[in-house]
Structure 1
Amino acid sequence: MDLGTRLIAGPDGQAFPFDPGAFFLELLLTGGPDGDQRWELLRGPSDLAAWLVDSRLALTAPIDADDVRIRPAELRAIKQFRDTLWTVAHVVAAAEEPNEDELEFINAAAESSMRPRIALDTGVCEWATPITGSQVLGTAAREAIDVIGGDRIDRLRECEAEDCALVFLDTSRPGNRRWCSMQRCGNRHKVKAYRARHAKD
């Protein structure tokens, strides 16, 4: 599976691939603001370090979990950012105005960021290490600011399925992505439309 594409399970237990299109939206897949600990993936700093290895950040350069240094306070800040972003992303996807306090929270989180560099021994791109929790937070925040405050804001969308709340950044060339995943909601829509057409026969 491509980096940044996550295999997630729907309420029915069936797993499907989901590409959120951006790292800050990928972060939403680690939990949510509802306080339901069953869906929390980031229970400790080591969980976040392991999760980053397969994240969209690894598309820029590989990430070794041993190079990630997350303090407990940083993990709490990342989860608070994630929970705020969950609300903001859904509001923006609905073409509504986000709360100013929430936007300011995102702005404040962008203080630091991960630093790509050219490795002197190989000449290829790598992340400057150690990678801190504040840098991970800042990288997600800067990306969110770039999308929400930029010309790609209309590409931030919620899956059109009535029972799906996944949010993604449409990176397709035509800009016509409608579903979280064609293997899940897109396919269910096609099946429903097919049955509706044949029910009239």
Structure 2
Amino acid sequence: MATDDSWIWDGGRVCLDFANTLRCRWRATPEETLRNPGDLSLWLQEAGLLAPGGPNHIDTTVLTSGRRLREAADRAVLAVADGRLPSPADVALLNRSATQAPRPALQIAITDGRLEPAGTTSLTTDPLAALALVAQDAVELLLSPEIGRVRVCGADTCALRFLDRSPAHNRRWCSMSRCGNRTKVRLHQARARRDHPAP
């Protein structure tokens, strides 16, 4: 079973973080982090979509559906970010899944002696409903101006997806601490070898 530290949460949207559960997409055989139903259950819990300790009945059918949703969302987001239309099949899958999302529950808080809205929660005990929240997030992103800020990490051996919210809209790495620094060190070492060749 995967551990929560094997997942990366730098996507900026839950649908991008979900797409990033398939790693090393540049390889002939990418690295799957959702290897079994327990991995999917744990990911949905860590993402704040699935209530821990509930029935959480995830079987291989739900896992297959989750992987299919992940790939449809990934293809659709990358297509629209690139100025193309997604495939009708991917649109249909996203729409079908998004309709199963639970209605977000409005929360209240008492602040300074008054009732105020405290946001919403969509936490569910149904894994398919949790996956529907991922689909709903993908649909919202596809229709949002933010779709033009979706990027793929610039490191040669990464390919993680993320939303560029940097002020200058020029973020290149999924994470500076992971890919950005490694790439800069590698380029610096290559320049040093070129400028100061060994005798």
TM more than 0.5: yes
Match of 2:62 among 74, 97, 108: 74
Kept in 2: contact 1:67–1:129 (CA 8 A): no
Matched residues in 1 for 2:181 and 2:66: separation? 34
How many Å separate the matches in 1 of 2:105 and 2:130?
A: 16
Show the 5 A alignment for 1:46-85: 46-55=38-47, 57=48, 64-67=51-54, 69-72=56-59, 73-85=61-73
**Runs of at least 5 residues in structure 1 that lack an aligned partner in the other structure:** 1-5, 10-16
Are the equivalent residues in 1 in contact too, given 2:105–2:120 (CA < 8 A)? yes
Q: CA RMSD in A?
A: 3.5
Computing the radius of gyration from Cα coordinates, the structure with the larger value is 2
1:200 alignment partner AA: D
User: CA contact under 8 A between 2:98 and 2:132: conserved in structure 1?
Assistant: yes
What's the CA shift for 1:153? 0.9
Query: Aligned pair count?
Result: 183
User: TM-score normalised to the size of structure 2?
Assistant: 0.71
SS of residue in 2 equivalent to 1:168: strand
Kept after mapping to 2: 8 A contact 1:168/1:180: yes
1:79/1:151 Cα in 2 relative to 1: closer, same or farther (>3 Å)? same
Q: Is the aligned partner of 1:24 residue 2:18? A: no
Tell me which amino acid in the other structure corresponds to 1:158. Answer: V
SS at structure 1 position matched to 2:145:
coil
Give the TM-score normalised by the residue count of structure 1. Answer: 0.70
